[in-house]
Structure 1
Amino acid sequence: MEIALIISRCSTTESKQDVTRQSEELRCNYGNTYQIIKEFSYYKSGTKNDAVNDDILEYAITNNVKHIIASETSRISRKISSFALFLEKCNENKINIIIDNYKLHTLLENGEVNGMVQTMLSIASTFAMAELRLIKSRLDSGRAKYIKEGGKLGRRVNSTKNSKQLLTEHSDIVKFVKQNQSIRNIMTLTGKSSGTVQKVRKLVLEPA
């Protein structure tokens, strides 16, 4: 059984998606076909994740991973140039990218480049970038309308707990963060949401 890794990414502003759900669906769809040895699950903008993609490629090349699986092109990157570079490096190292929502493979079974699929994915990455621009445009328009009608942006005064209180309340998360447990494991161990785990983890790991 050939080895593979999974990429599960969400932007920190995406509430409709969750990296855990992505990972579980990909494992369910491909776990019987490939030996999945690594998951890169994280929250970061798809326009600012080049460094993470570099780490993914380095891991794949070093460990002779032959397949990289993602739910859609935007999970790898929302920048056309970044996705194209990622694809090019995978081609150079004979690494097949599998895009689940289209059931596409960038390499043929003999390891040769699947030209038709790569053209389709280039178009898909263009749509991913256009989608991001549309989302930003709608958000900016909504904010402008809200402010024009007298609304105020930002957190309400005293609406959030201070850092010390948050760390005390979620001491179980703090313990597992200090043990270098993954976000997914901490969610399972504590039964708490990814948002809460992320918030506490950031406080714990922030330099004093």
Structure 2
Amino acid sequence: MEKAIIISRCSTNERKQDITRQSEELRLNYGNVYQIIKEFSYYKSGTKNDAVNDEILEYALSYGVKHIIALEISRISRKISSFALFLEKCNANSINIIIDNYKLHTLLENGEINGMVQTMLSIASTFASAELRLIKSRLDSGRKKYIKNGGTLGRAVGSVKPTDQLLNEHSDIVKYVRQNQSVRNIMKLTGKSSGTVQKVRKIVLKSA
């Protein structure tokens, strides 16, 4: 079987969404078709994940991966330019991108570019970007209305966790910080957000 990579991404932290659902669904749909050798599961904005996409492509080239699988186009990127560049690099290296929710393949079985699909994905990428702008607009509108009605933003009093509790909840991060792992590696190993890793790392290093 040809080698494949799975991409699972959420924008919010681990307490709000569960990226394992994406991975499980993709493994179920493609595990018998391709040899899935790596999962890139992480939490990061789809407008700020270019570095991760570069890492994914580098891994694919290093290990002879022929297919990159994602549940939706927005899981790869919500920026039109970033997705277009990722697609261009994959085309240049004969790597097929599979978008599961539309069952689309960017390359034909003979390795040639699937022009119709790539045009469809360009349109889908535009919608993914527009969707993000709409979500942001709604959130901004909701915040303004909340403040106008007397609400206040920020953490509620007493919501900040004591240091010991935070370290206990994220003992896995503590372990990797003490091993001098980088923030990016710790994020990969634990599946936790950059903010959480850096917060715990700061506490551990300060107390060292």
Partner of 1:138: 138
Question: 2:86 matched to 1:90?
Answer: no
Give the Cα–Cα distance (whole angstroms) in 2 for the partners of residues 182 and 148 of structure 1.
Answer: 40
Give the Cα–Cα distance (whole angstroms) in 2 for the partners of residues 13 and 142 of structure 1.
Answer: 21
CA distances 1:72-104 after superposition (whole Å, capped 9, x unpaired): 100000000000000000000000000000000
Partner of 1:165: 165
CA distances 1:153-201 after superposition (whole Å, capped 9, x unpaired): 0002222212333213554664477677977986xxxxxxx77x88764
* TM-superposed deviation, 1:205: 3.3
Partner of 2:156: 156
Q: Number of aligned pairs? A: 200
Partner of 1:191: none
TM-score scaled by length of structure 1: 0.85
Give the Cα–Cα distance (whole angstroms) in 1 for the partners of residues 25 and 177 of structure 2.
Answer: 25
Question: 2:108 matched to 1:112?
Answer: no
Question: 2:197 matched to 1:205?
Answer: no
RMSD: 2.6
Contact 1:4 1:34 in 2 (8 A): yes
Contact 1:3 1:37 in 2 (8 A): yes
Contact 1:183 1:198 in 2 (8 A): yes
CA distances 1:33-69 after superposition (whole Å, capped 9, x unpaired): 0000011100000000000001011111111100000
Gaps of 5+ in 2: none
AA aligned opposite 1:205: R
CA spacing shift, 1:171–1:18, aligned 2, 3 Å:
closer
Q: Secondary structure at the match of 1:150?
A: coil
CA spacing shift, 1:185–1:55, aligned 2, 3 Å:
closer
CA spacing shift, 1:172–1:104, aligned 2, 3 Å:
closer
Contact 2:186 2:197 in 1 (8 A): no
TM-score scaled by length of structure 2: 0.85
Give the Cα–Cα distance (whole angstroms) in 2 for the partners of residues 178 and 110 of structure 1.
Answer: 49
Query: What percent identity do the matched residue pairs reach?
Result: 75
Please, which moves more after superposition, 88-97 or 11-20? 11-20
Partner of 2:62: 62
Q: Which has the higher contact order (CA 8 A, sep 6+)?
A: 2
Give the Cα–Cα distance (whole angstroms) in 2 for the partners of residues 36 and 169 of structure 1.
Answer: 31
Gaps of 5+ in 1: 187-193
Structure 1 ranges of 4+ moved more than 6 A: 13-16, 179-185
Give the Cα–Cα distance (whole angstroms) in 2 for the partners of residues 50 and 122 of structure 1.
Answer: 17
Q: Secondary structure at the match of 2:108?
A: coil
CA distances 1:125-176 after superposition (whole Å, capped 9, x unpaired): 0000000000000000000000000000000222221233321355466447
Contact 1:68 1:98 in 2 (8 A): yes
